[in-house]
A and B are shown apart, each in its own frame.
Chain A
Amino acid sequence: MTRYLRRFSRTERTLHWVNALGFFMLLATGLILYLPSLSVLVGRRPLIKDLHAWSGVGWVCALALIALLGDRRGLLRTARELDTFDADDVRWLRRRRPAPQGRFNAGQKVNASLNAAFTVLFLVSGLLLWLGERDTRFRFASTVVLHDGVMYVALALLAGHLYLALIHPATRHSLRGMTVGTVDEDWARAHHPKWAAGSADDAHS
């Protein structure tokens, strides 16, 4: 009988999927604006531009709303987890083993911090591009370099994330944690032993 451990709360999962939805919406509309071949294919540039800008606003507002209306205390706890690196996390990053991991491994923690920073940078550079069209005080020669540069790095991280979550045989079980919320206890003990040991008590079959 397989036992499952609850890894992600409803608030965490909602936040993740709304974040993903917003990211892909912005990626799709952004690429249409960015790639000439797509621009020509789709046309309707003013519409796509509005869609892109307002998706960005909606994305950030939705994330803030979920954080406010959801399990705030749980999210703060999660943020602290992501912030904290113990000696094993440092060993994990240096590829030393054994390095038993908690609910998040050190790579996931770095990924989370980077993506949070990218959200801020996307928002700031996007707003500057938007305002810069109307007022030269907001126009900087490097805004577009920043917006595009963050896009490239975020896309590379996303590719790694999708590979690990969907394809890599050893890790793709984690997708279950982000969809239904629970993961196989044996899998958790193998990949996140420090967390699995602590939460096995409230496990449900």
Chain B
Amino acid sequence: MSEPIEEPGSGEARPKRYGRGVFLLTVAGGISSLAWGKSVWGHVSGAVSPIASSLAPFLPTGGWRIYTISGSMPTFDRATWRLKVGGLVEKPVSLSYDELLALPKVKQISTFHCVTGWTVQNVHWGGVRLTDLFDRANPLPEAGALQFVSAEKPYIDYLTMPQALLHDVMLAYEMDEKPLPRDHGAPVRLIIPEMYGYKNVKWLNEINLVSTVASGYWEQLGYDQDAWVGRSNGYTSSSQPPAPVSAPAGSSPRGFRTR
């Protein structure tokens, strides 16, 4: 192969330092995205969400990250599993999985926010309201808070009674129209869309009514007791908008008893 006869334009033009330009622009763009990445991604994923949701069964992640605090996830055994409701109640309750499913079922679509910054929009949950458990167990007047105990030891967390009675708090045993998968906390998890994921205790098998909140697993590691989305853990609503109040689907919201 012969050498090229002519090199158009190479005679007079001086070499350009484009390499460092590409490097610096990419680094600068990336670092600055710490300020705008999330909101831009929100718009992008909002625009493509109809496509994304139809593709969801084929996508490997669906946006979820699965966090566990121990080496392995609890295993659900339908025959032996119980959900206990105890503590400051008139009548402690121990429900089997089938008894839990027999309680009035509600559905809702809500958005799940993780404190590390990721969000899954429009998750379809199915489950029961805490009030339907309270109808059975009858919390005592001095019960001011709830302790949620996970089968994944030593994961526990707390909600105050008013927080637990927010209209879209639920014990979810269905996710996206299917039984709650093991990695999402099978057979039942707490859902409180107004708060970051660490409050949404997975593999729930015990609820104790207590007089006041204490520090849960992540609170002991420095996370906020009240994990309001966009208003806690160093976030402000400018960096992350508060979770919209989710619309109940399929069932009308029930009234709550005040105590």
Contact of B26 among A87, A113, A193 (CB under 8 A): A113
What's the interface size class on B, roughly? 35 or more
Q: Are B61 and A129 in contact (CB under 8 A)?
A: no
Cβ-Cβ contact count across A and B, 8 Å cutoff: 161
Interface centre among B7, B23, B41, B60 (most CB of A within 10 A): B23
Interface centre among B7, B62, B71, B235 (most CB of A within 10 A): B7
For the complex, what is the distance from the CA of A140 to the CA of B20, rounded to whole Å?
Answer: 27
- Chain A residues with Cβ below 8 Å from B19 are 82-85, 109-110, 112-113
Q: Are B116 and A144 in contact (CB under 8 A)?
A: yes
Q: Are B34 and A146 in contact (CB under 8 A)?
A: yes
Mark interface residues in A64-101 (1 if CB within 8 Å of B CB, else 0).
Answer: 00000000000000000011111111110000001010
Complex interface: stretch among A2-10, A41-49, A50-58, A163-171: A41-49
A-B contact pairs, 25 of them (CB 8 A): A36-B61, A36-B64, A39-B65, A40-B66, A43-B71, A43-B73, A44-B71, A45-B67, A83-B18, A83-B20, A89-B18, A91-B9, A113-B18, A113-B22, A116-B23, A117-B22, A118-B26, A120-B30, A128-B34, A129-B116, A139-B117, A140-B34, A142-B33, A142-B239, A189-B1
Q: How many residues of A contact B (CB 8 A)?
A: 59
Contact of B71 among A46, A114, A140 (CB under 8 A): A46
Which residues does A use to contact B, with CB under 8 Å?
33-37, 39-40, 43-47, 82-91, 98, 100, 109-110, 112-114, 116-118, 120-121, 124-125, 128-129, 132-137, 139-146, 149-150, 186, 189-190, 193, 197
